[in-house]
Amino acid sequence: MNQHAAIRFTLNGQPREIAAPPMQRLLDVLRQTCELTGTKNGCGEGDCGACTVLIDGVPVVSCLVPIVQVEGADVRTVESLAEGDQPHPLQAAFLKHGGTQCGSCAAGLLMTACAHLEHGGETDDATLRAALAGVVCRCAGYQQVIASVQAAARGGETLDGNHL
């Protein structure tokens, strides 16, 4: 086994230094090394979007990012969304409006939607469908997903703390 140079990056606001094979997928580093298993491996070739995380604020599929290219980057995963008991508005809206069923694509949808809203994206039906097209959901048929993102964008989605 080769010795691997350390990769330094920021993960959910915390500095991390990780020794990993340079071509190892960010997905595997997150799930195995960092034990953040909220990011899911759905297909391993960038087509399902379940493993979407944000790098420097933009959504990427972490199965196609070699860890060597994460050096110096700011990585955010689904685990970063809630603050303590306070859900992110998207999480609250997804819970209330049916945005998740089996939960396998939830992290991908949430992170993609999060970037879209943070960048001030439009929230009409067509724009949201295009923005979310990189994450496939096999359960929900997308309508309640779209409704959830729109509700989050409208604001005012709150939940009792004990729901999270």
Partner 1 sequence: MTAIISDHRVYTATDLDDALRFLAEHREEGWRPLAGGTDVMVGVYRDRSGGDQWLNLSRLRPQLAGIGRDGDFVHVGALATMTDLRRSALLEESCPLIGRAAAVVGATQVQNRATVGGNIANGSPAGDTLPVWLALDAELELASVRGQRRIAYGEFMTGYRRSVREPDELITGLRFQPRSGSTGRMYYRKVAPRAAQGISKVVFAAIAGWNDGRYENVRLVFGSMGPITVRARAAEQCAEGEAPSAQLGEQAAERLAADLSPINDARSTADYRLRVAKNLVREFLAGNLG
Partner 2 sequence: MSTDQVTSLTGVNTGGALGTSVPRREGAAKLCGEARFVDDLPRQNVWLGGTVRADVPHARLLAIRFDPCFDWSRVVVVTAADIPGENVVPVVLRDQPSLAESFVRYHGEPVALIAAADEETLQQALDRVDVDLSPLEPVFDIDEALAAKVPLFGPENVFRTITIRKGDAGETLQTADVVVEEVYETGAQEHVYLEPQGMQAEPTASGITVCGSMQCPYYIVEGVALLLGLAQEQVRVIACMTGGGFGGKEDFPTLIAGHAALLAWKARRPVRMIYDRVEDLRYTSKRHPARIRHRSGWSRAGRLLAMQIEIELDGGAYSTLSPLVLQRAAVHAAGPYQCDQIEINARAVATNHPPRGAFRGFGAPQVHFALETHMGSCAARLGLDPVELRRRNVIGPRGTLATGQNVGEDVAAAEVFERALVESGFLARRAAYDDSNRRALSAAGPERFKRRGIGLSLFMHGTGMNGDGEGLVRSEVLLRGNADGTVSAVTCQVEIGQGTQTILAQLAADGLGIPVEWVVAEKPDTAMARDSGPTVASRTAAIVGGLLISAGRQFREEVERRSGLCKADPDAFRSAIARLATEGPLESRAYYSRPPDMQWDEATHRGDGYLAYTWSCCVVALEVDTLTGEVKVLDVTAVQDVGKVVHPLFAAGQVEGGVAQALGWALMEETVWADGLLRNATMTDYVIPTACDVPPIRAVFLEHPHPRLPHGAKGLGELPAEGPAPAVANALRQALGIHFNRIPITPEIILPAWEDRQQ
Contact residues for partner 2, defined by CB under 8 A: 31-32, 35-45, 47-48, 50, 77-79, 81-82, 87, 91, 94-107, 110, 125, 128-130, 132-147, 159-160, 163-164
- Interface pick for partner 1 out of 10, 16, 18, 66 (rule CB under 8 A): 66
Is residue 17 near partner 1 by the rule CB under 8 A? no
Write out the DSSP string of 152-163.
Answer: HHH------GGG
User: With respect to partner 2, which residue has the nearer C-beta, 115 or 135?
Assistant: 135
Query: What residues between 72 and 111 interact with partner 1 by CB under 8 A?
Result: none
At CA 37, angle to CA 35 and CA 39, rounded to 5? 130
CB of 87 to partner 1, least distance (A): 24
If one asks whether residue 125 binds partner 1 (CB under 8 A), the answer comes out as no
What is the C-alpha to C-alpha distance for residues 108 and 52, in angstroms, rounded to an integer? 5
Binding site partner of 159, from partner 2, partner 1, none, Cβ cut-off 5-8 A by kind: partner 2
Contacts of 104 (CB under 8 A, 6+ apart): 40, 42, 50
Q: Smallest distance from the beta carbon of 106 to partner 1, in angstroms? A: 16
How is residue 63 written in tokens? 């199965």
Q: Strand 14-19: give its sheet, edge to edge.
A: 14-19, 6-11, 74-76, 52-55, 58-61
For residue 116, with 0-12 CB atoms within 10 Å meaning exposed, 13-18 middle and 19 or more buried, which class applies?
buried
Examine residue 38 and tell whether it contacts partner 1 (CB under 8 A). Answer: no
State the residues that interact with partner 1 by CB under 8 A: 1-2, 21-25, 44-47, 49, 52, 55, 58-61, 63-66, 68-69, 71, 112, 130-131, 133-136
